Structure 1
Amino acid sequence: MAEYATPTTEQEFAGNFAQLKPLMSNSEAMLESSRCLFCFDAPCIKACPSGIDIPLFIRQINSGNATGAARTIYEANYFGNACGKVCPTEVLCEGSCVYTATGAKPIEIGRLQSHATRKVMDQGKHLFQPGAATGFRVAVIGAGPAGISCACELRKLGHEVEVFEARSRPSGLTLYGVAPYKITNEETLAEMAYLEAQLGFRVHYNHPISSRPELEKLESEYAAIFLGIGLGHTSALGLPGEERDNCVGAVEFIEQLRIGQQHTAVGRRVIVLGGGNTAMDAASESARLGAERVVLAYRRGKEEMGAYAFEYDLAKSVGVQGLFNVAPLEITGNGKVEGVKFVRTATRNGQVHPVPGSEFVEPCDMVIKATGQAKQTRFLNFIPELQLDSRGRIVFNPATYQTTNPRYFAAGDAANGGAEVVNAAADGKAAAHGIHGFLTKN
């Protein structure tokens, strides 16, 4: 029996996908911020990829200075509100909180962060303004966390910035790739509007850059180009039957869910292939959409999954079942998905080996492949002298984020191969300083 009824209205969808980190009230924030010990060595700061001064902003909240707290957060991370909700705080800042060593509940840093930033967003308080004009123009390809963070910092440094986004709405992974129970569409778009209103970068939506002539036009009009293009579609597995109806990629499924919400179709019996965090999201989402049975299938043991333990616990809490040490051989069915043929596996010396004679079919009517994303190598090959590594990632100077083509800079998933929103935001901001140095010769 399904853990959740299939949502048919916006209200039912919101109920099934209730926020994991709901907004704190003023009194809740005051009480929670009072628990902070303001550690002199601040392990929480060291654990934050964007280096937010966490004890400082918590102290500011506790003293009633929410605007100051928001400024502290946004000066380090332009996705301050989103990261307060979507960051894996359990293994980053909160996971490093000194309270964890005592067995006590860590400070709810993520919720405090969202509390402060949401206040200034709701009140329309401007924290930043563009720097004195330098006369340089920079093109940013991709309006995701890396691209928008780069654009914001470049505007603070005084450069004119235009962002080119293939989709109709901004913020990339934050809008299209994160589970709805982590952040709502409205919250994501509100933060983007807030940043754009202050810093004045211009975004061209429905404007993909996908050919050599389009790149040549940018090269002729802009002094530097930033690549924040992220990753591509879900990688194919090469299995027989992979083309059957209702065999979909997890990235595409999550994007459809974020856009279609309660109108998104899900099978009655769903098998999710994979063991990463995206697989956990896809499995949890399937259950919340009303699937009667959701099975998470992984070729190694449970302890070898790439997903965070808290993400797997969340999936289990909504009724997702684990099927470990199995490898898919075929997607079975007649036109539509009817099952997955697996073989049991054993791991020896770190290598996965099939167990002869152990094949079996697990019935289902939908398969979601959470097996990684393809790199956008076809597009990147249009850029002369741009070097990629053996895994299709953009090669760049880690000090400046400059690629092997000096006018191009890169950060985010296209450069690191896939990480968290906070990593992309931090790296995009750092890349802006690399671009600034290149343009001003500093």
Structure 2
Amino acid sequence: MTSKQLQDGIVAGRLDGTALQTNFADLHPAYAPHEALVAADRCYFCHDAPCMTACPTSIDIPLFIRQIATGTPEAAARTILEQNILGGMCARVCPTETLCEEVCVRETAEGKPVEIGRLQRYATDKLMAKGPQPFARAEATGEKVAVVGAGPAGLACAHRLAMLGHDVVIFEARQKGGGLNEFGIAAYKSTNGFAQREVDWLLQIGGIELRYGAKLGEAISLDSLRADFDAVFLGMGLAAVNALRLDGADKDGIRPAVDFIAALRQAYDLAALPIGRRVVVIGGGMTAIDAGVQAKLLGAEEVTIVYRRGQEAMAASRYEQDLAAQKGVRIIHNAAPVGVDGNGSLTAVRFAYTETQGGKLVALDETFSLPADQLFQAIGQSLGDAPEGLEIAGGKITVDEKGRSSVSGVWAGGDCASGGDDLTVTAVAEGRDAAMDIHASLTA
């Protein structure tokens, strides 16, 4: 172990560039053509297609796998992209192990599903490498739609609207599009700038203008958008981070996990990114796993994820939990943070063991302390200040099954809206479906 790794505190360069390049290589390397054909040949092409039912975007999975098997991966890609325009990214980040691959007949019979996600990536990568997308705009309708947020929901909505002939302006608070795909996904899941390449490829449809630095509530308002556009779609995600309400939570070394992940994704030199020697992550979802694993890959000596409930209650899939363990990350269950120690800077985090009593989580008297010089909080995000007039429930914009909000002419989808799971693929489905309802409303 190097002296840098033994050094306490949050420092850069715990590992050299070669080690970092290896650590952050593509988690699931792309199939070679022969590998894709072998993998596709394992599909039974089930008539009832449980995999298709499990897909939030309802991709015809047996069809696209058959198209790969018959040597037409570009046709397979079109089958995918007609339902999910961000099929390339979803192939990389979608939790297929709990969706399509979990219900695969091969998984049920043999414990080894068809690798649907990798096949989807093979097809979409083939098509994108050839150049322009296969979709064209319909004749212009003259209608203008505002989309707030250039994340998965907003991009999917904008593309479908543009394809149907509407003019779309996307208002994005950051200086780069992609949303969660660009700023919130572990770097080893989306390598080589794929998120931006996918955004650029999507915009080739035409009819979409992307305006950066336009945050709802600051540069723009919902009232002004409603006045200037024929319809509005809100897909800005959850921008606010839930506070860590602990004694000592203001000490140096404590940071939201989403900020750490975003900084890592935007870093040109990972060796310049500071990381602690002993890192603690509080949370049980995908953000906690991504933060913990990447802290370890950056050279942290000890990384511990602590979750207040049992393993079965963790939002992160078992696959992701196992990945963390394989990378040397320890996960402690049934423990809740009760305090932070340190004189100015973090030195330890104190926890109390928990158990469920009468349906409620209760902190026990027994406590323990974890030495730490860096703490990442991954305890959820919230909408923040919502525009006036919108009905909010559970911290999200209330929408119906078509994505319509309580305000006339305003739709919403993705993480900021009530509905399905907070997944990229679900956000794509909600953005696409809202676009279809917007189109029906504008052309009625």
TM-score interval (norm. to shorter): over 0.9
Residue 412 (structure 1) shift: 0.3
Q: Kindly provide the CA deviation profile for residues 157-196 of structure 1, in whole angstroms up to 9, marking residues without a partner as x.
A: 1100010111111110011101111112511111111111
Q: What's the counterpart of residue 109 of structure 1? A: 116
1:143-222 superposed matches below 5 A:
143-184=150-191, 186-211=193-218, 214-222=221-229
Q: Kindly provide the CA deviation profile for residues 281-318 of structure 1, in whole angstroms up to 9, marking residues without a partner as x.
A: 11111111100001111222223322211111000001
Residue 234 (structure 1) shift: 2.2
Residue 337 (structure 1) shift: 0.7
Q: Does 1:40 align with 2:47?
A: yes
Q: Does 1:265 align with 2:274?
A: yes
Q: Distance in 2 between matches of 1:213 and 1:31?
A: 51
Equivalent position to 2:233, from 226, 229, 235:
226
Q: Kindly provide the CA deviation profile for residues 195-235 of structure 1, in whole angstroms up to 9, marking residues without a partner as x.
A: 11134411112222324964333222211111001002321
Q: What's the counterpart of residue 412 of structure 2? A: 410
Q: Kindly provide the CA deviation profile for residues 262-292 of structure 1, in whole angstroms up to 9, marking residues without a partner as x.
A: 0321110011111122111111111111000
The amino acid of 1:232's aligned partner reads A
1:83-162 superposed matches below 5 A:
83-162=90-169
Q: Distance in 1 between matches of 2:84 and 2:38?
A: 25
Equivalent position to 2:363, from 354, 362, 380:
354
8 A contact 1:140–1:163 mirrored in 2: yes
Q: What's the counterpart of residue 292 of structure 1? A: 301
Q: Does 1:246 align with 2:248?
A: no
Equivalent position to 1:386, from 383, 390, 406:
390
Shift in CA distance, 345/216, structure 1 to aligned 2, threshold 3 Å = closer
Q: Distance in 1 between matches of 2:354 and 2:390?
A: 40
Q: What's the counterpart of residue 324 of structure 1? A: 333
8 A contact 2:341–2:349 mirrored in 1: yes
The amino acid of 2:53's aligned partner reads K
Q: Distance in 1 between matches of 2:52 and 2:132?
A: 26
1:8-47 superposed matches below 5 A:
8-9=16-17, 12-47=19-54
Q: What's the counterpart of residue 374 of structure 1? A: 382
Q: Distance in 1 between matches of 2:103 and 2:161?
A: 32
CA RMSD of aligned residues (A): 1.8
8 A contact 1:128–1:199 mirrored in 2: no
Q: Distance in 1 between matches of 2:333 and 2:422?
A: 24
- Name which of structure 1's ranges 213-222 and 67-76 shifts more when overlaid on structure 2: 213-222
Residue 94 (structure 1) shift: 1.0
Shift in CA distance, 439/324, structure 1 to aligned 2, threshold 3 Å = same
Shift in CA distance, 212/203, structure 1 to aligned 2, threshold 3 Å = closer
Q: Distance in 1 between matches of 2:438 and 2:348?
A: 51
Q: Distance in 2 between matches of 1:185 and 1:250?
A: 22
Q: Distance in 1 between matches of 2:222 and 2:282?
A: 37
Q: Kindly provide the CA deviation profile for residues 411-442 of structure 1, in whole angstroms up to 9, marking residues without a partner as x.
A: 0000037611000001100000111122122x
The amino acid of 1:126's aligned partner reads Q
Residue 360 (structure 1) shift: 2.9
Structure 2 counterpart SS, 1:174: helix
Q: Distance in 2 between matches of 1:332 and 1:195?
A: 48
Structure 2 unmatched runs, 5+: 6-12
8 A contact 2:91–2:120 mirrored in 1: yes
Structure 1 counterpart SS, 2:217: coil
8 A contact 1:175–1:185 mirrored in 2: no
Structure 1 unmatched runs, 5+: none
Q: Distance in 2 between matches of 1:190 and 1:212?
A: 27
Q: Distance in 2 between matches of 1:258 and 1:212?
A: 26
Residue 7 (structure 1) shift: 3.9
The amino acid of 1:184's aligned partner reads T
The amino acid of 1:362's aligned partner reads L
Structure 1 counterpart SS, 2:162: helix
Q: What's the counterpart of residue 435 of structure 2? A: 432
Q: Distance in 2 between matches of 1:8 and 1:416?
A: 44
8 A contact 1:239–1:330 mirrored in 2: yes
Q: Distance in 1 between matches of 2:169 and 2:77?
A: 26
Shift in CA distance, 303/392, structure 1 to aligned 2, threshold 3 Å = closer
Q: Kindly provide the CA deviation profile for residues 392-414 of structure 1, in whole angstroms up to 9, marking residues without a partner as x.
A: 2111121x211111111100000
Q: Distance in 1 between matches of 2:319 and 2:331?
A: 14
Equivalent position to 1:401, from 400, 403, 409:
403
Q: Distance in 2 between matches of 1:19 and 1:195?
A: 23
TM-score by length of 1: 0.94
Q: What's the counterpart of residue 70 of structure 1? A: 77
8 A contact 2:162–2:205 mirrored in 1: no
Q: What's the counterpart of residue 423 of structure 2? A: 420
- Name which of structure 1's ranges 259-268 and 165-174 shifts more when overlaid on structure 2: 259-268
Residue 251 (structure 1) shift: 1.1
Equivalent position to 1:364, from 357, 372, 375:
372
The amino acid of 1:74's aligned partner reads L
